[in-house]
């Protein structure tokens, strides 16, 4: 079940891209049914993100955690900013929803098998930070936190999202 949540959580990170696609579609063809579908999918992705985040807060186990090393990973948000420029590129080659569906399906399968996800742009907007942390037993995790972490000793309790992803408890 954790792989399902992790995969859906990551796919919801692409929902802001749908707004850019909608704008490109609107500029090319006017506001049509595809624009409504893209807008609906954006809101679905945003609601999916909120629902998964609330479920993680309520249902994930809280554990005491000792960190040996911490490193910021916020720079990875640049990859998503690049992804938001993709609709402009797609505009020049045309939008084919069947190809887009196949690409998202393949991406979903790949995401199922990787252990962590990169930063989530919607979380970044809500002031969450992403860190690579090394525990005292040398295991490396991706940690999501609402605060700026300067020392590893300040991290005390976390919730488990997946085998390599944690979120700090306030």
pLDDT digits (tens, 9 = 90+) for 98-155: 776 777 777 677 766 665 555 566 777 778 888 889 988 888 888 888 888 888 889 9
pLDDT digits (tens, 9 = 90+) for 3-29: 677 777 777 877 877 887 888 888 888
Burial of 145 (0-12, 13-18, 19+ CB in 10 A): buried
Q: Structure pTM?
A: 0.65
Chain center to CA of 63: 23
From 48, 42, 45, select the one nearest 21 (Cα to Cα): 42
Residues forming beta bridges with residue 157, ordered by sequence position: 64
Do 42 and 13 meet the contact criterion of CB atoms below 8 Å apart?
no
């Amino acid at each position: 079940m954790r792989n399902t949540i992790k995969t859906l959580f990551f796919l919801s990170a692409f929902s802001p891209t749908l707004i850019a696609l909608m704008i490109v579609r609107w500029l090319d063809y006017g506001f049509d049914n595809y624009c409504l579908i893209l807008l609906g999918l954006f809101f679905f992705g945003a609601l999916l993100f909120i629902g998964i985040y609330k479920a993680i807060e309520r249902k994930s186990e809280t554990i005491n955690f000792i960190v040996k090393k911490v490193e910021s990973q916020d720079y990875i948000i640049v990859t998503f900013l690049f992804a938001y420029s993709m609709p402009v590129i797609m505009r020049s080659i045309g939008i084919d929803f069947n190809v887009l569906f196949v690409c998202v399906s393949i991406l979903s399968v790949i995401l199922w098998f990787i252990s962590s996800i990169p930063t989530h742009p919607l979380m970044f907007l809500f002031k969450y930070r992403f860190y690579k942390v090394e525990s005292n037993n040398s295991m490396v995790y991706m940690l999501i936190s609402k605060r700026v972490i300067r020392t590893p000793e300040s991290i005390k309790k976390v919730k488990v999202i997946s085998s390599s992803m944690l979120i700090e408890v306030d």
